[in-house]
Amino acid sequence: MVGPGGDEVYYPREVIIKGMDILWAPWRSSYVENVDNIESCFLCNAISQPEERWRDVLVLHKSSESFIILNKYPYNSGHLMIVPIKHTGNYEELSENTILDMDRLLRLSLRALKEVFKPHGFNIGYNIGRPAGAGLESHIHMHVVPRWNGDTNFMPVIAHTKVISQNLLSTYDRLKEALSSLLTNM
C-alpha cells in the first residue's frame, strides 16, 4: 500500500481508521496505560539504552536536555516525538534551557522530515493529561506529525501492535541519515 508520503506503508490488521475531528484524539489509545513511574516509563527506558540499541528503541538523536524518538504507533509516516530527558508530566517544570534545547531539536526534525518525506505541512503539539488525549501522562512529549494534502480523509492509526514494522525501521534509517548530515553541516 502506498502511503501519503509516496512510500510503501505497512498497515497491520489492527489499523484503526479515524477522522480528525479533534486534533490530537488519534493518540488516545496508542500507549501503554497506567504508566506512573520512571521504572515503567518507556521514554525513560528508551533514552537510558546504550547508543548501539537506539535503533531497537527508535531513538534518533540525543542532545544535552532532550531527545528525538520515532513514534512506534505512527499517525502518519515520519511521526516523531521531541522529549525532555527529565521525567515530568508538567510542561511548567521544564527549565528554559530544556525548552530551548527541545526547540532546537524540533527545528532539526522539521528539516530532516522535509528532506526525507517532503510533507505539505505539520501538526506539532502536546497532549497534556488524560482528557486531552495523552496516552503517557507522566512524561511530557511533543508530537511532530508530517501532513500531506488530502490525508485528512484517510487517517490510519496503528495501535495495539508490539511489532516494529519494516516500514518504521526504514523511516528510522532515512531520518537518522538526514539528521546526521544536518548535524555534520551545522
Q: Per rule CB under 5 A, is residue 9 in the interface with Zn ion?
A: no
Contact 165, 73 (CB under 8 A): no
Provide the minimum distance between the beta carbon of 85 and Zn ion in the complex, in angstroms, as a whole number.
9
* Count of all residues that appear for the chain in the document: 186
Q: Per rule CB under 5 A, is residue 102 in the interface with Zn ion?
A: no
Residue that is written with C-alpha cell 489509545 in the block:
29
86-100 as b/e: b if 16+ CB within 10 A: eeeeeeeebeeebee
Q: Per rule CB under 5 A, is residue 139 in the interface with Zn ion?
A: yes
Query: Is 141 in the active site?
Result: yes
The stretch among 42-50, 51-59, 101-109, 170-178 that binds Zn ion (CB under 5 A) is: 42-50
Q: Per rule CB under 5 A, is residue 158 in the interface with Zn ion?
A: no
Collapsing DSSP to helix, strand or coil, 147 comes out as strand
Q: Pattern of binders to Zn ion over 43-82, x per CB under 5 A?
A: xx--------------------------------------
Provide the minimum distance between the beta carbon of 57 and Zn ion in the complex, in angstroms, as a whole number.
13
Q: Per rule CB under 5 A, is residue 174 in the interface with Zn ion?
A: no
Q: Per rule CB under 5 A, is residue 157 in the interface with Zn ion?
A: no
Give me the half-sphere count of Cα atoms (radius 13 Å) on the Cβ side of residue 112: 32
Angle between helices 96-117 and 166-184 (to 10 degrees): 110
Q: Can you give the binding site for Zn ion, defined by CB under 5 A? A: 41, 43-44, 87, 139
Q: Which residues are catalytic?
A: 141
